[in-house]
Amino acid sequence: MISASQCRAARALVEITRGKLSLRSGVDEKVIHDFERQISKPDDRIIETLRSTLEDFGAVFIGENGGGIGVRLKFTAAEARQIARLEGEGGVVANDRVP
């Protein structure tokens, strides 16, 4: 399950509107609005549908781990390859021989 704040934050991170989330998830836009504003709480099935749809857009939900709940973006395969390439650009890592 995700919280209303996580839903709102994930939508902001993946840069989609409530309307687009509604279209992709099949959940009425008013239900999403009311959930994010904590006006009402939809049933668990709807919340899981929103979570799954937001994950498809690239959100990763972080459960309570001592530091609080959260949400972040996941890396795409292309981004992971680019990071690996950039990490190796400095050459071979070796000990400095500075006295």
> Which amino acid type is present at position 76?
T
Q: What is the pLDDT along the chain (99 residues), one digit of tens a residue?
A: 899 999 999 999 888 999 999 999 999 999 999 999 999 999 999 999 999 999 998 899 988 876 788 898 887 667 767 766 776 666 665 565 555
Angle between helices 29-36 and 18-25 (to 10 degrees): 120
pLDDT at 16: 92
Residue 97: inside a domain: no
Looking at the structure of the chain, the number of domains it has is: 1
Residue 63: inside a domain: yes
**Residue whose entry in the numeric block shows the structure tokens 């498809």:** 56
Range of the domain at 24: 4-87
Q: What is the pTM of this model?
A: 0.74
Domain of 34, CATH number, reads 1.10.260.40
Q: Which helix (H) or strand (E) holds 59?
A: strand 59-62
Residue 73: inside a domain: yes
Tens of pLDDT, residue by residue over 71-96, are 988 876 677 677 667 766 666 655 65
Rounded Cα distance between 91 and 99, Å, is 22
